Structure 1
Protein backbone atom coordinates (compact mmCIF):
# COMPACT_ATOMS: atom_id res chain seq x y z
CA UNK A 1 0.00 0.00 0.00
CA UNK A 2 1.24 3.55 -0.69
CA UNK A 3 2.32 5.97 2.02
CA UNK A 4 -0.65 7.82 3.51
CA UNK A 5 -1.17 10.95 5.54
CA UNK A 6 -0.85 10.49 9.31
CA UNK A 7 -4.11 11.05 11.14
CA UNK A 8 -4.82 11.91 14.77
CA UNK A 9 -7.31 9.61 16.49
CA UNK A 10 -9.53 10.76 19.37
CA UNK A 11 -10.48 8.01 21.79
CA UNK A 12 -14.26 7.77 22.07
CA UNK A 13 -15.72 8.74 25.44
CA UNK A 14 -17.12 6.10 27.78
CA UNK A 15 -20.89 5.59 27.69
CA UNK A 16 -23.37 3.82 29.99
CA UNK A 17 -24.93 0.56 28.86
CA UNK A 18 -28.01 0.92 26.68
CA UNK A 19 -31.16 0.19 28.65
CA UNK A 20 -34.04 -2.13 27.86
CA UNK A 21 -36.72 -0.33 25.86
CA UNK A 22 -34.28 1.92 23.99
CA UNK A 23 -35.05 2.38 20.30
CA UNK A 24 -32.71 3.32 17.45
CA UNK A 25 -33.26 4.14 13.80
CA UNK A 26 -31.61 2.01 11.14
CA UNK A 27 -30.11 4.14 8.38
CA UNK A 28 -29.33 1.26 6.00
CA UNK A 29 -29.49 -2.52 5.67
CA UNK A 30 -26.53 -3.70 3.58
CA UNK A 31 -25.42 -6.88 1.85
CA UNK A 32 -22.49 -7.83 -0.35
CA UNK A 33 -22.34 -5.89 -3.61
CA UNK A 34 -19.21 -7.34 -5.18
CA UNK A 35 -16.17 -9.51 -4.49
CA UNK A 36 -12.81 -7.74 -4.84
CA UNK A 37 -9.29 -9.06 -5.27
CA UNK A 38 -7.26 -8.91 -2.05
CA UNK A 39 -3.61 -9.63 -1.21
CA UNK A 40 -4.52 -11.76 1.81
CA UNK A 41 -4.46 -15.54 2.08
CA UNK A 42 -7.98 -15.98 0.66
CA UNK A 43 -7.27 -13.81 -2.38
CA UNK A 44 -10.61 -12.01 -2.42
CA UNK A 45 -12.74 -10.01 -0.01
CA UNK A 46 -16.51 -9.54 0.30
CA UNK A 47 -16.21 -6.48 2.56
CA UNK A 48 -17.95 -4.30 -0.05
CA UNK A 49 -21.52 -4.08 1.28
CA UNK A 50 -24.13 -1.71 -0.11
CA UNK A 51 -27.67 -0.72 0.87
CA UNK A 52 -30.61 -2.87 -0.11
CA UNK A 53 -33.72 -1.13 -1.41
CA UNK A 54 -36.21 -3.79 -0.40
CA UNK A 55 -36.99 -6.07 2.58
CA UNK A 56 -34.39 -8.83 3.02
CA UNK A 57 -34.64 -12.19 4.73
CA UNK A 58 -32.40 -12.84 7.73
CA UNK A 59 -31.64 -16.41 8.78
CA UNK A 60 -29.24 -17.99 11.28
CA UNK A 61 -26.19 -17.08 9.19
CA UNK A 62 -27.23 -13.54 8.34
CA UNK A 63 -28.82 -11.74 5.42
CA UNK A 64 -29.80 -14.00 2.54
CA UNK A 65 -27.46 -13.29 -0.36
CA UNK A 66 -24.69 -11.84 1.82
CA UNK A 67 -21.40 -13.75 1.93
CA UNK A 68 -18.02 -13.69 3.67
CA UNK A 69 -14.91 -14.62 1.68
CA UNK A 70 -12.79 -15.51 4.72
CA UNK A 71 -15.10 -17.85 6.60
CA UNK A 72 -12.43 -18.80 9.11
CA UNK A 73 -12.53 -15.34 10.67
CA UNK A 74 -15.85 -13.89 9.49
CA UNK A 75 -19.46 -15.00 9.44
CA UNK A 76 -21.03 -17.95 11.21
CA UNK A 77 -23.93 -18.02 13.64
CA UNK A 78 -22.23 -15.82 16.26
CA UNK A 79 -21.26 -13.19 13.66
CA UNK A 80 -24.38 -13.35 11.53
CA UNK A 81 -24.82 -9.58 11.25
CA UNK A 82 -22.49 -6.67 11.91
CA UNK A 83 -23.75 -3.25 13.00
CA UNK A 84 -21.87 0.04 12.95
CA UNK A 85 -22.88 3.42 14.34
CA UNK A 86 -23.67 6.30 12.00
CA UNK A 87 -21.97 8.70 14.41
CA UNK A 88 -18.75 6.72 14.14
CA UNK A 89 -18.96 6.69 10.35
CA UNK A 90 -19.28 10.47 10.48
CA UNK A 91 -16.24 10.64 12.78
CA UNK A 92 -14.14 8.60 10.34
CA UNK A 93 -15.43 10.61 7.40
CA UNK A 94 -14.15 13.79 9.05
CA UNK A 95 -10.79 12.27 10.03
CA UNK A 96 -10.13 10.59 6.69
CA UNK A 97 -11.62 13.47 4.68
CA UNK A 98 -13.82 11.33 2.51
CA UNK A 99 -17.32 9.90 2.68
CA UNK A 100 -17.95 6.57 4.44
CA UNK A 101 -20.94 5.29 2.44
CA UNK A 102 -23.42 2.87 3.96
CA UNK A 103 -21.81 -0.57 4.03
CA UNK A 104 -18.27 0.67 3.32
CA UNK A 105 -16.92 -0.68 6.62
CA UNK A 106 -18.47 -4.05 5.82
CA UNK A 107 -21.47 -3.45 8.04
CA UNK A 108 -24.87 -5.00 7.47
CA UNK A 109 -26.60 -2.40 9.62
CA UNK A 110 -25.78 1.30 9.80
CA UNK A 111 -27.49 2.46 12.97
CA UNK A 112 -28.27 5.92 14.29
CA UNK A 113 -27.23 5.12 17.85
CA UNK A 114 -24.34 3.96 20.01
CA UNK A 115 -24.33 0.26 19.19
CA UNK A 116 -21.03 -0.19 21.03
CA UNK A 117 -22.89 0.57 24.26
CA UNK A 118 -24.89 -2.66 24.00
CA UNK A 119 -24.12 -5.14 26.76
CA UNK A 120 -22.84 -8.53 25.72
CA UNK A 121 -26.04 -10.54 25.39
CA UNK A 122 -28.38 -7.58 24.85
CA UNK A 123 -31.35 -8.74 22.80
CA UNK A 124 -32.89 -6.56 20.13
CA UNK A 125 -35.85 -6.68 17.78
CA UNK A 126 -35.54 -5.36 14.23
CA UNK A 127 -38.53 -5.86 11.97
CA UNK A 128 -39.48 -9.53 12.29
CA UNK A 129 -36.01 -10.51 13.51
CA UNK A 130 -34.68 -10.93 17.04
CA UNK A 131 -30.93 -10.85 17.62
CA UNK A 132 -28.40 -10.95 20.45
CA UNK A 133 -25.18 -8.91 20.72
CA UNK A 134 -22.20 -11.27 20.90
CA UNK A 135 -19.13 -9.04 20.84
CA UNK A 136 -16.97 -6.55 18.95
CA UNK A 137 -15.40 -6.72 15.54
CA UNK A 138 -11.68 -7.48 15.47
CA UNK A 139 -10.23 -5.28 12.72
CA UNK A 140 -7.95 -7.17 10.31
CA UNK A 141 -5.48 -6.47 7.53
CA UNK A 142 -8.14 -7.09 4.90
CA UNK A 143 -9.95 -4.07 6.36
CA UNK A 144 -6.71 -2.05 6.27
CA UNK A 145 -6.06 -2.96 2.64
CA UNK A 146 -9.65 -2.10 1.73
CA UNK A 147 -9.18 1.30 3.37
CA UNK A 148 -5.82 1.79 1.63
CA UNK A 149 -4.14 2.50 4.97
CA UNK A 150 -1.40 0.09 6.14
CA UNK A 151 -1.87 1.05 9.81
CA UNK A 152 -5.66 1.19 9.85
CA UNK A 153 -6.00 -1.78 12.21
CA UNK A 154 -4.13 0.25 14.83
CA UNK A 155 -5.93 3.47 13.96
CA UNK A 156 -9.38 1.89 14.10
CA UNK A 157 -8.52 0.18 17.40
CA UNK A 158 -7.32 3.45 18.94
CA UNK A 159 -10.77 4.91 18.45
CA UNK A 160 -12.30 2.08 20.50
CA UNK A 161 -15.60 1.79 18.63
CA UNK A 162 -15.46 -1.43 16.65
CA UNK A 163 -19.16 -2.05 16.07
CA UNK A 164 -20.98 -5.15 17.23
CA UNK A 165 -21.75 -8.64 15.96
CA UNK A 166 -25.13 -10.32 16.45
CA UNK A 167 -26.43 -13.87 16.45
CA UNK A 168 -29.95 -14.42 15.12
CA UNK A 169 -32.51 -15.75 17.60
CA UNK A 170 -35.58 -15.42 15.38
CA UNK A 171 -35.44 -15.31 11.58
CA UNK A 172 -37.56 -13.03 9.43
CA UNK A 173 -37.50 -9.96 7.22
CA UNK A 174 -35.95 -6.56 7.87
CA UNK A 175 -35.64 -3.30 5.96
CA UNK A 176 -34.12 0.12 6.50
CA UNK A 177 -37.40 1.67 7.64
CA UNK A 178 -37.47 -0.66 10.67
CA UNK A 179 -36.31 0.45 14.11
CA UNK A 180 -34.15 -1.40 16.61
CA UNK A 181 -35.78 -1.98 19.98
CA UNK A 182 -33.80 -3.34 22.92
CA UNK A 183 -36.05 -6.05 24.36
CA UNK A 184 -33.80 -7.28 27.19
CA UNK A 185 -30.34 -6.91 28.71
CA UNK A 186 -28.45 -9.37 30.95
CA UNK A 187 -27.70 -6.65 33.51
CA UNK A 188 -23.99 -7.40 34.03
CA UNK A 189 -23.10 -3.91 32.79
CA UNK A 190 -20.19 -4.88 30.52
CA UNK A 191 -20.63 -3.19 27.16
CA UNK A 192 -18.93 -3.98 23.88
CA UNK A 193 -17.02 -0.69 24.14
CA UNK A 194 -15.98 -1.43 27.75
CA UNK A 195 -14.41 -4.71 26.71
CA UNK A 196 -12.61 -3.16 23.74
CA UNK A 197 -11.27 -0.35 25.92
CA UNK A 198 -10.16 -2.45 28.89
CA UNK A 199 -10.81 -6.20 29.13
CA UNK A 200 -10.28 -6.45 32.88
CA UNK A 201 -10.47 -9.48 35.15
CA UNK A 202 -13.50 -7.95 36.83
CA UNK A 203 -15.34 -7.54 33.53
CA UNK A 204 -14.46 -11.08 32.45
CA UNK A 205 -15.75 -12.44 35.75
CA UNK A 206 -18.97 -10.43 35.41
CA UNK A 207 -19.57 -11.99 31.99
CA UNK A 208 -18.83 -15.50 33.24
CA UNK A 209 -21.08 -15.04 36.28
CA UNK A 210 -23.90 -13.86 34.01
CA UNK A 211 -23.40 -16.97 31.90
CA UNK A 212 -23.47 -19.25 34.96
CA UNK A 213 -26.72 -17.58 36.00
CA UNK A 214 -28.26 -18.36 32.60
CA UNK A 215 -28.56 -14.72 31.52
CA UNK A 216 -25.84 -14.84 28.86
CA UNK A 217 -24.36 -17.30 26.38
CA UNK A 218 -20.85 -16.11 25.53
CA UNK A 219 -20.03 -16.61 21.85
CA UNK A 220 -17.25 -19.05 21.07
CA UNK A 221 -15.04 -16.44 19.42
CA UNK A 222 -15.30 -14.21 22.50
CA UNK A 223 -15.18 -16.96 25.14
CA UNK A 224 -11.50 -17.75 24.62
CA UNK A 225 -10.58 -14.15 25.41
CA UNK A 226 -12.98 -13.85 28.33
CA UNK A 227 -11.66 -17.06 29.88
CA UNK A 228 -8.05 -16.03 29.32
CA UNK A 229 -8.59 -12.67 31.01
CA UNK A 230 -10.47 -14.24 33.92
CA UNK A 231 -7.56 -16.65 34.37
CA UNK A 232 -5.24 -13.76 35.25
CA UNK A 233 -6.83 -13.71 38.71
CA UNK A 234 -4.83 -16.79 39.68
CA UNK A 235 -1.76 -16.13 37.56
Structure 2
Protein backbone atom coordinates (compact mmCIF):
# COMPACT_ATOMS: atom_id res chain seq x y z
CA UNK A 1 0.00 0.00 0.00
CA UNK A 2 1.43 3.44 -0.94
CA UNK A 3 2.12 5.58 2.11
CA UNK A 4 3.46 8.93 3.26
CA UNK A 5 6.90 8.16 4.67
CA UNK A 6 7.38 11.66 6.00
CA UNK A 7 5.69 15.04 6.10
CA UNK A 8 8.24 17.82 5.61
CA UNK A 9 8.13 21.58 6.11
CA UNK A 10 10.50 24.53 6.40
CA UNK A 11 9.60 26.82 9.26
CA UNK A 12 11.81 29.71 8.16
CA UNK A 13 13.65 30.99 5.12
CA UNK A 14 17.43 30.81 5.00
CA UNK A 15 19.50 33.74 3.63
CA UNK A 16 21.71 32.43 0.80
CA UNK A 17 23.52 33.98 -2.13
CA UNK A 18 22.36 31.40 -4.71
CA UNK A 19 18.61 32.07 -4.40
CA UNK A 20 17.00 34.65 -6.67
CA UNK A 21 15.21 36.29 -3.75
CA UNK A 22 18.26 36.01 -1.49
CA UNK A 23 16.58 33.43 0.75
CA UNK A 24 15.13 29.96 0.44
CA UNK A 25 12.86 27.58 2.33
CA UNK A 26 13.93 24.54 0.31
CA UNK A 27 15.42 22.84 3.38
CA UNK A 28 12.29 20.91 4.41
CA UNK A 29 12.54 18.73 7.52
CA UNK A 30 10.29 15.89 8.70
CA UNK A 31 7.66 16.69 11.34
CA UNK A 32 5.26 14.49 13.24
CA UNK A 33 2.01 16.05 12.09
CA UNK A 34 -0.77 15.76 11.38
CA UNK A 35 -0.81 19.08 9.54
CA UNK A 36 -3.63 20.65 7.60
CA UNK A 37 -3.29 21.10 3.85
CA UNK A 38 -5.55 23.61 2.10
CA UNK A 39 -5.65 25.76 -1.06
CA UNK A 40 -3.33 28.70 -0.32
CA UNK A 41 -4.57 31.07 -3.06
CA UNK A 42 -3.37 32.25 -6.48
CA UNK A 43 0.31 32.01 -7.36
CA UNK A 44 2.21 35.17 -6.54
CA UNK A 45 -0.12 36.03 -3.67
CA UNK A 46 0.22 32.91 -1.51
CA UNK A 47 2.80 30.38 -0.42
CA UNK A 48 2.56 26.74 0.59
CA UNK A 49 -0.66 24.84 1.13
CA UNK A 50 0.87 22.93 4.06
CA UNK A 51 0.32 24.29 7.56
CA UNK A 52 3.49 25.82 9.00
CA UNK A 53 5.47 25.53 5.76
CA UNK A 54 7.24 28.51 4.24
CA UNK A 55 8.31 29.38 0.70
CA UNK A 56 11.07 31.83 -0.16
CA UNK A 57 9.91 32.97 -3.61
CA UNK A 58 6.15 33.32 -4.08
CA UNK A 59 6.56 34.44 -7.69
CA UNK A 60 7.88 31.04 -8.78
CA UNK A 61 6.69 28.65 -6.09
CA UNK A 62 3.54 28.05 -4.10
CA UNK A 63 -0.02 29.03 -4.88
CA UNK A 64 -2.95 26.74 -5.60
CA UNK A 65 -1.29 24.66 -8.34
CA UNK A 66 1.90 24.18 -6.32
CA UNK A 67 0.26 23.84 -2.92
CA UNK A 68 1.99 20.56 -2.04
CA UNK A 69 5.13 19.00 -3.53
CA UNK A 70 5.67 15.25 -3.43
CA UNK A 71 8.69 13.12 -4.21
CA UNK A 72 9.11 9.35 -4.10
CA UNK A 73 11.61 7.81 -1.71
CA UNK A 74 12.44 5.41 -4.53
CA UNK A 75 13.63 8.35 -6.64
CA UNK A 76 15.58 9.81 -3.73
CA UNK A 77 17.27 6.43 -3.37
CA UNK A 78 18.16 6.50 -7.08
CA UNK A 79 19.79 9.91 -6.71
CA UNK A 80 21.47 8.87 -3.49
CA UNK A 81 23.22 6.06 -5.35
CA UNK A 82 24.03 8.26 -8.36
CA UNK A 83 25.47 11.10 -6.30
CA UNK A 84 27.12 8.98 -3.64
CA UNK A 85 25.66 11.08 -0.81
CA UNK A 86 22.96 10.50 1.78
CA UNK A 87 19.63 12.20 1.05
CA UNK A 88 17.17 12.60 3.90
CA UNK A 89 13.41 12.81 3.45
CA UNK A 90 12.61 16.39 2.46
CA UNK A 91 16.04 17.06 0.93
CA UNK A 92 14.57 17.87 -2.49
CA UNK A 93 12.23 20.39 -0.88
CA UNK A 94 9.29 18.00 -0.96
CA UNK A 95 6.43 18.23 1.52
CA UNK A 96 5.49 14.58 1.08
CA UNK A 97 8.10 11.86 0.82
CA UNK A 98 6.17 8.82 -0.37
CA UNK A 99 6.77 5.11 -0.79
CA UNK A 100 5.08 2.73 -3.19
CA UNK A 101 3.61 5.20 -5.68
CA UNK A 102 5.02 6.57 -8.95
CA UNK A 103 5.02 10.34 -9.38
CA UNK A 104 6.77 10.45 -12.75
CA UNK A 105 4.10 8.51 -14.61
CA UNK A 106 1.11 9.86 -12.68
CA UNK A 107 -1.44 11.57 -14.89
CA UNK A 108 -2.03 15.31 -14.60
CA UNK A 109 -5.46 15.55 -13.00
CA UNK A 110 -5.07 12.24 -11.17
CA UNK A 111 -6.51 12.49 -7.67
CA UNK A 112 -4.99 11.00 -4.55
CA UNK A 113 -6.67 10.62 -1.19
CA UNK A 114 -3.94 11.27 1.37
CA UNK A 115 -5.06 11.25 4.98
CA UNK A 116 -8.33 13.16 4.95
CA UNK A 117 -7.21 15.49 2.14
CA UNK A 118 -7.87 15.08 -1.58
CA UNK A 119 -4.95 16.13 -3.77
CA UNK A 120 -4.80 16.49 -7.55
CA UNK A 121 -1.62 16.09 -9.61
CA UNK A 122 -1.05 19.44 -11.32
CA UNK A 123 2.55 19.84 -12.54
CA UNK A 124 6.14 18.64 -12.36
CA UNK A 125 8.87 20.39 -10.44
CA UNK A 126 11.23 22.31 -12.74
CA UNK A 127 14.79 22.60 -11.34
CA UNK A 128 16.32 26.00 -10.66
CA UNK A 129 19.62 27.43 -9.46
CA UNK A 130 18.37 27.48 -5.87
CA UNK A 131 17.88 23.71 -6.01
CA UNK A 132 21.37 23.28 -7.47
CA UNK A 133 22.94 25.64 -4.96
CA UNK A 134 21.27 23.94 -2.02
CA UNK A 135 22.50 20.49 -3.08
CA UNK A 136 25.93 21.80 -4.01
CA UNK A 137 25.99 19.73 -7.19
CA UNK A 138 27.71 21.12 -10.29
CA UNK A 139 25.60 20.76 -13.43
CA UNK A 140 22.63 19.68 -11.33
CA UNK A 141 19.90 21.44 -13.34
CA UNK A 142 21.00 19.72 -16.55
CA UNK A 143 21.42 16.36 -14.88
CA UNK A 144 18.05 16.49 -13.11
CA UNK A 145 16.38 17.57 -16.36
CA UNK A 146 17.92 14.77 -18.40
CA UNK A 147 16.86 12.11 -15.88
CA UNK A 148 13.26 13.45 -15.75
CA UNK A 149 12.30 12.27 -12.26
CA UNK A 150 10.78 15.61 -11.24
CA UNK A 151 8.28 14.65 -8.58
CA UNK A 152 4.77 16.09 -8.65
CA UNK A 153 3.08 19.24 -7.47
CA UNK A 154 -0.49 18.98 -6.25
CA UNK A 155 -3.40 21.30 -5.81
CA UNK A 156 -5.72 20.73 -2.87
CA UNK A 157 -9.24 19.74 -3.95
CA UNK A 158 -10.46 18.99 -0.42
CA UNK A 159 -8.64 20.40 2.59
CA UNK A 160 -7.72 17.90 5.27
CA UNK A 161 -5.08 16.50 7.60
CA UNK A 162 -1.99 14.55 6.53
CA UNK A 163 0.46 12.72 8.77
CA UNK A 164 3.40 10.34 8.32
CA UNK A 165 2.13 6.80 7.78
CA UNK A 166 -1.07 7.87 6.03
CA UNK A 167 -2.12 5.64 3.17
CA UNK A 168 -2.29 7.05 -0.37
CA UNK A 169 -5.18 5.92 -2.56
CA UNK A 170 -5.61 6.91 -6.20
CA UNK A 171 -9.32 7.65 -6.44
CA UNK A 172 -9.51 9.09 -9.97
CA UNK A 173 -7.55 8.81 -13.20
CA UNK A 174 -8.47 11.07 -16.11
CA UNK A 175 -9.00 9.75 -19.63
CA UNK A 176 -5.97 11.38 -21.28
CA UNK A 177 -2.31 10.30 -21.31
CA UNK A 178 -0.61 13.51 -20.15
CA UNK A 179 1.83 12.34 -17.49
CA UNK A 180 4.03 14.33 -15.15
CA UNK A 181 7.00 13.21 -17.24
CA UNK A 182 5.41 14.45 -20.50
CA UNK A 183 4.57 17.78 -18.85
CA UNK A 184 8.16 18.08 -17.60
CA UNK A 185 9.68 17.38 -21.02
CA UNK A 186 7.25 19.83 -22.66
CA UNK A 187 8.40 22.72 -20.49
CA UNK A 188 12.09 21.81 -20.46
CA UNK A 189 13.44 19.92 -23.48
CA UNK A 190 10.63 19.28 -26.00
CA UNK A 191 8.38 22.29 -26.64
CA UNK A 192 6.60 20.38 -29.41
CA UNK A 193 4.78 18.54 -26.62
CA UNK A 194 3.28 21.74 -25.19
CA UNK A 195 -0.05 21.55 -27.10
CA UNK A 196 -0.62 18.08 -25.65
CA UNK A 197 -0.88 19.60 -22.19
CA UNK A 198 -4.23 21.15 -23.08
CA UNK A 199 -5.70 17.65 -23.04
CA UNK A 200 -5.48 17.79 -19.24
CA UNK A 201 -7.84 20.79 -19.10
CA UNK A 202 -7.96 22.97 -16.02
CA UNK A 203 -5.76 20.56 -14.09
CA UNK A 204 -2.86 22.35 -15.82
CA UNK A 205 -1.72 25.61 -14.14
CA UNK A 206 -3.12 28.73 -15.86
CA UNK A 207 0.33 30.18 -16.56
CA UNK A 208 1.28 27.04 -18.50
CA UNK A 209 -1.94 27.16 -20.50
CA UNK A 210 -1.11 30.78 -21.34
CA UNK A 211 2.37 29.66 -22.46
CA UNK A 212 0.84 27.12 -24.85
CA UNK A 213 -1.51 29.70 -26.35
CA UNK A 214 1.30 32.27 -26.75
CA UNK A 215 3.39 29.69 -28.58
CA UNK A 216 0.51 28.98 -30.93
CA UNK A 217 0.14 32.69 -31.71
CA UNK A 218 3.85 32.97 -32.47
CA UNK A 219 3.66 29.95 -34.77
CA UNK A 220 0.69 31.42 -36.63
CA UNK A 221 2.45 34.76 -37.07
CA UNK A 222 5.72 33.25 -38.25
Q: Normalising TM by the smaller chain, what interval? A: 0.7 to 0.9
> What TM-score comes out, normalization by structure 2 length?
0.85
> What TM-score comes out, normalization by structure 1 length?
0.81
Deviations 1:74-98, CA, capped at 9 Å, x for gaps:
1111100000111110011011111
Cα deviation, residue 34, structure 1:
4.3
Cα deviation, residue 35, structure 1:
2.7
Q: Which residue of 2 aligns with 1:89?
A: 76
Separation in 1, partners of 2:212, 2:180: 12
Cα deviation, residue 121, structure 1:
0.9
Q: Which residue of 2 aligns with 1:164?
A: 152
Cα deviation, residue 226, structure 1:
3.7
Separation in 2, partners of 1:25, 1:232: 44
Q: Which residue of 2 aligns with 1:72?
A: 59
Query: Which of 181, 186, 198 lines up with 1:208 in the alignment?
Result: 198
Separation in 1, partners of 2:93, 2:124: 13
Q: Is the 8 A contact 2:198 2:209 kept in 1?
A: no
Q: Does 1:104 align with 2:91?
A: yes
Separation in 1, partners of 2:175, 2:64: 23
Separation in 1, partners of 2:123, 2:207: 9
Separation in 2, partners of 1:231, 1:88: 37
Structure 1, gaps ≥5 residues long: 1-22
Q: Does 1:58 align with 2:37?
A: yes
Secondary structure of residue in 2 paired with 1:115? coil
Note the 1:1-235 alignment, pairs <5 A: 24-39=2-17, 40-61=19-40, 62-112=49-99, 113-197=101-185, 199=190, 201=192, 204-211=194-201, 216-227=202-213
CA RMSD, aligned part only? 2.1
Q: How many residues align?
A: 208
